[in-house]
Structure 1
Amino acid sequence: MGSPKTDKPPAPGGETEGSRFDITDAAVVVVDSYGLVQHWSGGAEALFGYAMTDAVAHPVTEILAIPWDERWEMAERSLAGRGWTGTLTAHRRDGRPLQIRAQACPLGPDRQASWLIVAADLATTQAREREHAILRGLFTQSPFGLAVVDPQLRFVMINPALERMEGVPARLRLGRALSDTVPEEAGPMTEARAREVMETGEPQVVVSHADPPGASSSYPPHVRSRSSFRLQDPAGHTLGMGQAVLDVTGYYRARRHLALINEAGVRIGSTLDLDRTVQELAEVLVPQVADFVAVDLSAAVIHGHEPDPVLIAGSAELIRRAQQSIRDDLPESVAPLGARVTYSETSPQHRCVATGRPVLDPVVDLSTPWLSQDAARSAKLREVGIHSHLVVPLRARGITMGATTLVRWKNPEAFDADDLLLVEELAARAAVCIDNARRFAREHRAALSLQRNLLPKDLPTPTAVDVAYRYLPADTHAGVGGDWFDVLPLSGTRIGLVVGDVVGHGMNAAATMGRLRTAVQTLADLDLPPDELLAHLDDLVAHLDEAESADRHVPGVIGATCLYCVYDPISRTADVARAGHPPPAIAHPDKAVEFLDIPAGPPLGLGGLPFECTQVPIPDGSVLAFYTDGLITASSDRDIDLGFTRLAFALAYPDRPLEEICDDMEHLLLPDRPRDDVAFLVARPRSLSEENVATWRLPRELTAVGQARSLTTEQLDAWDLEDLAFTAELIVSELVTNAIRHASGPVSLRLIRDVNLIFEVSDGSHTSPHLRRAHTNDEGGRGLFLVAQFAQRWGTRYTTDGKTIWAEQLLP
């Protein structure tokens, strides 16, 4: 009855003062049939404060001052029931009241027998009762598994919780050794650990794993925490070892779920590729959650369109985009990748997509209507042995884009609510990534389509140059950019070659590129020198930047570069100016590749800084290469010097076909998926022979008009173009007459035979001729009007010495 006392040494005989067989810590009193005290124990002295000499031979009820009603109840019940247990109010010797728990029983069969009364402080008794209740509840009602082994490591006690936890009845383990109830390979280790606990007295906590029946080692086992501790009696003797077992599988499963969610956050959505994203979802789920996973998406999502919020059609038609299994042969798959999968209205997939809610079937019933209607599918699932089924929608921003189907056939555990919460979380994350990939694919296609429509589809084929080109858009991460190129036929058989680059990617870069390309074409039609053209283009970019930056929602032009080259096949020279663009390269037929030293100039849009034009001689047989910076910085280390070296190597031997040179540039300088857009233009200039050009200097007299007509007629006869003489004489006559009457300086006439017949009249004046319609009474003013009527094209270009008025006439 006493509580253990570990601070006192053992008493003689091996028992301590606190032993349960020593009741000195309780009051033991023997009274006769008259209620006189016959025996008064030491415990009674300690509890009530009366010495034995003061208590013996005195009525016990008077000594303890027990109230009459309680005294009467005790006597009546004792006499009637042959024993009594209850609570009394007694008083100590110093007068303090004391609640006691007492038990009285007769020491004989008649009423003359003495009585044994055992009493203890009520608070102490209640504490002991609570301790006993806790021990009983812990052993019989607690979810902890409890076991006790004796010093020989034989089971002596096993509670019901441990029976249920390990699935072995207690009767089959009681009396058996500890090593007989664990796997053979773990027995010695368990026995050694148990003996160590009993010898040292140090508790040990061990986490053990047990595979569920029928499951392979690839699935999470049951996890249990086993706490072992030594059992001793009050004398310090070892009685055995206690073991408390707690099933912490749920805790470990929650940790595994959190780890899986963290892994999914890293793996799913690593790219903006839709197919890769859904495959990453399937790879995360198998085998950690399911044995087989299939991801089906609606056709609208795959094609980048906005899907309907819910599926309203009579049957759900989805397209299989990803699937993953624990086996490579996919035995549970009922559709190949890319196939259209049709589910009936009663199927879980259709219900999931139509409602946007998950469908959990812990136990698959193969006789359900949606499976029984499809005999082939039902047979396949039955053959594999699928037993649990889960379908979760892929929803993002209020839109259902598809469904993820999970099944288990090798893992014996059915899907439960925890699995559903986990898969919903993973599917929600994947759905956002899928929607991002869909939106990006749609915008990327739109930007790419815009850019391709803005780029030249078919370059002109002038006689002055042969050209080849490449445009390679960036990969899907960067998106389309603002690189462009152009070949512009100019007056006098000259050719304008343009390459430009707008910084950035996406719709804004493509749209800005289209604006700049159109502006260059317009300015080139004015026959502006390269440096003046870039100056006008610089002003345009600055104005675009100011206008767009005023709108917070429209990003401004953050930078652009451009190179403009005008090649003259008659003089065999090229006038080049660049605005922050890489220099052009020229591959000579008889020496090494050269990068032309053209002043770089500032990028477009800075404003206020001049551009310089450089004239470069272009020998016959050489090749010019114009490119954007993405070509020379495409290497992994973005080493510009290495890029120039590789470009020079690719341009070597310029006598090769231009397409072959372009192929070498692409293969030697570009990776499979360049980070930036790349555009380059390769041109082989061809000079115009002297026999196709005739030039005369004319006097500033009206008689020069007739002389010009005569010279023109003679030259056309030499070129076998007599049929054009009448129209040619008219055009030359009007152009020379205007130059003599309205201009200043020397006047010259040049005829060029190319694809067209070209007339050029130059003078020293910078005044611009204007085409006007003369009135009926006007004697003049019809010259340019007649030229415009008979010529295919006409125009004016300005030089440092004056201007040139030119006109073109079609050849037969």
Structure 2
Amino acid sequence: MIEADGTVAFWSREAAALLGHDARDVVGTPARNLLSGRHYAKDAEPQGGAPGGRVLRLRHRDGGIVDLWVRLLPLSGTSAVLALGMTVEELGAWSDTTSMGRSILGQDFWQVALLGPDLRVTGASPAARSGRRLRPGEEDPACRMALQEGEGTGADLLKQVIETGRPITSHVLREPRPGRHDTYYALRAMPLHDLKGQVSGALTSLVDVTDRYRSARRLDILYQASRVSMGSLNVEHTAQGLVDVLVPALGDLAAVEIADATLRGREPSRSVHGLRGDYRRIAAKNAHGPWPADQVQPGQLLPPVPDQPGFRRLEQGEVLVANDPREYRDFLGGAPRGNEVLPEGLRASIGAAIVARGSVLGYVQVYRTRQQQAFDGQDAKLFKEIVGRAALGIDNARRYTAEHRTAVMLQNSLLPPGSATTSAAETAGIYLPAQGEASVGGDWFDVIPLSSLRTALVVGDVIGHGLRASATMARLRTAVQTLAELDLGPDELLTRLDDLVQRIALEAEHPDTTGASCLYAVYDPVTRRCRIASAGHPAPVAVLPDGTSRVIPVIPGPTLGVGGMPFEVTETELPPGSVLALYSDGLLNPLRDTYRDPERELAVRLADVHRPGRGLDETGQHCVRRIRSGLERTEDDVTLLLARTRSIADTDVAQWRFPSDPAAVGRAREAAMDTLQGWGMPDQAFATELVASELVTNAVRYSDGPIGLRLIRDRVLVCEVTDTSDSQPRLRRARSTDEGGRGLFLVAQVTNRWGSRYDTSGKTVWTEQSLERE
């Protein structure tokens, strides 16, 4: 502060810090002493200047020069003046800031507004005043705009800025005014601070981004539609994903109807002459709650609609837009139940046929009830692109459905009946095709009756899925049945089967993907023993009559097709009434991620569902119920074969050993006749006497070791003769002059079946005669 005589009356701390002079050195001295030789620094005047002041050059205590902008203000009631000053640098920054503020509020492109803490307008740019009709003292209309993403309004965002002092960027708001619902703005806001550093309001910028937002949204919708179309091979899933994309992006409600032929995988029609109850609504969505109860529900057929010229346009891939509900009613042609496809409050609709490769697969319809704007040309182009992509996905799903059903039908036709009963076991098999979008695999099971009342149990799994896997499975199953008729041991049978798979691989287009796993088990009800060999297949599980379960420790060999490795045979005893479970890998897959020992967990589950008196089929259904219901997922086929073992009573088996001597023929005959007499079977005496005589005679003639004879009584009468010879018995037609060669011919005439099998010590020739048990 300077007195009228030019002396300094007051010197602030800020002045002392600026020029280096203490107040006691300056107060009372002439203010002129602070000036340098050149008082006025015109060249230091900042660009734009500042009204009411000038730049002076003052002397610093250390001798330097300080350029200071100074303004003199008279003090009321006194002759003194107040000298206010700031450095030229500070003045320049202040000038830039005020200039920027004036430019922002003066431009007419951005809608910029200054808001107070109550969100009322304190200043606005011309664009904001005209575009949003901003008036000082009124609330900013942006406060009432809804957030496009998420819940809330613009007011919620601005309150957040004022409360936290943090700016916000790029939030999209939607215009709430009627007729402008499809207008979008990008909101940015930053806090304003007063001289005390407190938030005193907010600076907002609102830019119309409708065109840019629409473009981005269209790209996003197309991207989502592409993912939906190509993300599933299930028609229903693809259709539901389509309506999820369309609502609420294009409308309030959407529905997809598919021709029944498409759903069944058949070739759909290339033209639509009205609706005759052959289109089914399979997907629907309402953005505002459940699907209206008065409309056709998902799963129901559409009501009949007479043929209209509009159907020809649909067949050609046109999009039908109806911005007046009467247009849509006209399209329905006065259908009696047309109100079932006209939602209440309909304002506009857009629809198109799902056309792929010239065939009409179905129809897509979008309705606007609460959204007030009409569909325009851009909406029609976007909708056509979406439906076109969906058509490709639905057609792929239809073709997959056709192949899947063919593969399932082929697979089921190649598998044996689910239940079977032999003298050795009661069996039940279950086959579940692969879940989800995996095609049918090459799993199979089989129950093969063998000689001497034995039964072979087989489960296999071909690598891969689809028709090729089913065809390979058919070849392997046929091969197993043929090899089983040769009465080969489990290890020898798998070795022969391995050779076959290697030959199949040489014929295949991709040899590396050809292979299979297989488990072959032979159960003998006389000895109650089961011989098992595995080619890379999971070990079987046994539930014993006392309710305990165990995994049979089978030594797994390589999968079929590898070659060069032997297969080991595991032999185990199974008491009568035991349940043996053979299964494919698909039954274990859901357990692998949860249990360290999935085979043991399966054994525990099998023991839990096994109940005395419960049928095998019911037991099997309980084993797979979690997979069938979807509680457990597997991408592979599931095959389960259960066998409840039986046994032949010791009283129904008679066996003898004779030396290799001609006298053994008579002794064998007598032993057989005595046994049949004791069993009360006189009707089989003649045939059995002939069989025993001829077979023992051949054994004496062609072997030099002991000869065994065994009779087994069950549903058939089995007669076996065992010797140490490896010679193959052959049936031949003897000439009238031959002295021999008629033995096996006679045996074949008096029995139902006969054959021979080999083991490590020789061969066994066997016959079967049918019996009627009392």
TM above 0.5, yes or no, is yes
1:576 partner amino acid:
I
CA contact (8 A) 1:366 1:378 kept: no
Q: Which position in structure 2 is the counterpart of 1:326?
A: 287
CA contact (8 A) 2:543 2:606 kept: no
Q: Which position in structure 2 is the counterpart of 1:345?
A: 307
2:540 partner amino acid:
P
Structure 2: 5+ residue stretches without partners:
1-44, 55-105, 115-119, 146-153, 159-167, 191-202
Offset at residue 366 of structure 1 (A) = 4.7
Q: Which position in structure 1 is the counterpart of 2:690?
A: 730
Aligned in 2, Cα 1:575/1:654: closer, same or farther, shift over 3 Å?
farther
Output the TM-score relative to the length of structure 1.
Answer: 0.70
Q: Which position in structure 2 is the counterpart of 1:648?
A: 604
Q: Which position in structure 1 is the counterpart of 2:514?
A: 558
CA distance in 1, matches of 2:139, 2:654: 113
Residue aligned with 1:538, SS: helix
Residue aligned with 2:225, SS: helix
Q: Does 1:569 align with 2:530?
A: no
CA distance in 2, matches of 1:473, 1:533: 27
CA contact (8 A) 2:306 2:332 kept: no
2:301 partner amino acid:
A
Residue aligned with 2:308, SS: coil
CA contact (8 A) 1:589 1:654 kept: no
CA distance in 2, matches of 1:769, 1:622: 37
Q: Which position in structure 2 is the counterpart of 1:457?
A: 417
CA distance in 1, matches of 2:544, 2:206: 86
CA distance in 1, matches of 2:583, 2:447: 13
CA contact (8 A) 1:318 1:342 kept: no
Matching residue within 565, 581, 590 for 1:625: 581
CA distance in 2, matches of 1:322, 1:758: 63
CA distance in 1, matches of 2:580, 2:573: 12
Matching residue within 607, 611, 616 for 2:567: 611
Matching residue within 623, 630, 637 for 1:677: 637
Aligned sequence identity (%): 38
Q: How does 1:758-777 map to 2 (within 5 A)?
A: 758-777=718-737
Residue aligned with 1:565, SS: strand
Aligned in 2, Cα 1:727/1:456: closer, same or farther, shift over 3 Å?
same
CA distance in 2, matches of 1:657, 1:358: 60
- Write the deviation string for residues 91-113 of structure 1: whole angstroms up to 9, x where unpaired: xxxxxxxxxxxxxxxxxxxxxxx
CA distance in 1, matches of 2:338, 2:185: 37
Offset at residue 701 of structure 1 (A) = 3.6
Offset at residue 352 of structure 1 (A) = 4.2
Offset at residue 304 of structure 1 (A) = 0.7
Aligned in 2, Cα 1:222/1:580: closer, same or farther, shift over 3 Å?
closer
Q: How does 1:313-712 map to 2 (within 5 A)?
A: 313=273, 318-328=279-289, 330-331=291-292, 334-337=295-298, 338-346=300-308, 348=310, 350-366=311-327, 369-371=330-332, 373-374=334-335, 377=338, 381=342, 384-548=344-508, 551=509, 557-589=513-545, 592-635=548-591, 637=593, 639-651=595-607, 657=614, 659=616, 661-666=619-624, 671-712=631-672
2:302 partner amino acid:
R
Offset at residue 742 of structure 1 (A) = 3.0
Q: Does 1:211 align with 2:172?
A: no
Offset at residue 530 of structure 1 (A) = 0.9
CA distance in 1, matches of 2:183, 2:455: 77
Q: How does 1:120-199 map to 2 (within 5 A)?
A: 177-180=135-138, 182-183=140-141
Aligned in 2, Cα 1:732/1:324: closer, same or farther, shift over 3 Å?
same
CA distance in 2, matches of 1:8, 1:251: 38
Output the TM-score relative to the length of structure 2.
Answer: 0.73
CA contact (8 A) 1:302 1:438 kept: yes
CA distance in 1, matches of 2:531, 2:404: 37
Residue aligned with 2:442, SS: strand
CA distance in 2, matches of 1:511, 1:379: 48
- Write the deviation string for residues 681-709 of structure 1: whole angstroms up to 9, x where unpaired: 23232221221111122343434333333
**Larger Rg belongs to:** 1
CA contact (8 A) 2:228 2:390 kept: no
- Write the deviation string for residues 744-785 of structure 1: whole angstroms up to 9, x where unpaired: 322222111111111111111001011111223222211111
CA contact (8 A) 2:184 2:213 kept: no
Offset at residue 475 of structure 1 (A) = 0.4
- Write the deviation string for residues 712-752 of structure 1: whole angstroms up to 9, x where unpaired: 22221111110121222222222222222233322222111
Aligned in 2, Cα 1:208/1:182: closer, same or farther, shift over 3 Å?
farther
CA distance in 1, matches of 2:236, 2:646: 49
CA contact (8 A) 2:705 2:723 kept: yes
Offset at residue 675 of structure 1 (A) = 2.9
Aligned in 2, Cα 1:801/1:336: closer, same or farther, shift over 3 Å?
same
CA distance in 2, matches of 1:775, 1:436: 67
Aligned in 2, Cα 1:710/1:452: closer, same or farther, shift over 3 Å?
same
Q: How does 1:268-307 map to 2 (within 5 A)?
A: 269-307=230-268
Offset at residue 496 of structure 1 (A) = 1.3
Structure 1: 5+ residue stretches without partners:
15-137, 194-203, 229-241
Count of residue correspondences:
638
CA distance in 1, matches of 2:293, 2:260: 23
CA contact (8 A) 2:533 2:554 kept: yes
CA contact (8 A) 1:478 1:505 kept: yes
CA distance in 2, matches of 1:643, 1:251: 59
CA distance in 2, matches of 1:537, 1:589: 34
